[in-house]
Amino acid sequence: MVTSSFLDRIFGKTAQLTVLEYLLSNKDNDTYLSGIAYETGLSHSSVSRVIEPLIEQKIIKEKSLGKQIRIFSLNQDSDITKYLLKVHTDLKTMMNNSSDKK
């Protein structure tokens, strides 16, 4: 399943934005590399590459599960993440309202 994105209509489609939007849309769920790949249509290696800067910026948290599973979730303690969540929600509302008016 590949989720649709509305941020790419504004900012252009990049793998990093696709992953960020997926995690913003699933803010309360833990997920794993192949799960994100499956939901976004990106390859595992692409997800792994673009998630690193998001972890460095502390927007995404990474934990280990068992010996080898990397799990990811939105770091909702971060002010940057809180701001991104607000922008994401507001933009989504605006774009839905805009398309309803057409």
12-71 positions binding other proteins, by CB under 8 A: 30, 32-35, 37-38, 41-49, 65-66, 68-71
Task: Please classify residue 17 by burial: count the beta carbons closer than 10 Å to its beta carbon, then call 0-12 exposed, 13-18 middle and 19+ buried.
Answer: middle
Q: How far is the CB of 26 from other proteins (least distance, A)?
A: 13
Residue 17 DSSP code: H
* Site membership for other proteins, residue 2 (CB under 8 A): yes
Task: Tokens 């994401």: give the residue.
Answer: 88
Number of residues interacting with other proteins: please give it, by CB under 8 A.
Answer: 24
- By beta-carbon proximity to other proteins, the closer residue of 36 and 59 is 36
**56 in Cβ contact with 93 (< 8 Å):** no
Q: How far is the CB of 1 from other proteins (least distance, A)?
A: 7
Residue 29 DSSP code: -
Task: Tokens 């249509």: give the residue.
Answer: 41
Sites of contact with other proteins (CB under 8 A): 1-2, 30, 32-35, 37-38, 41-49, 65-66, 68-71
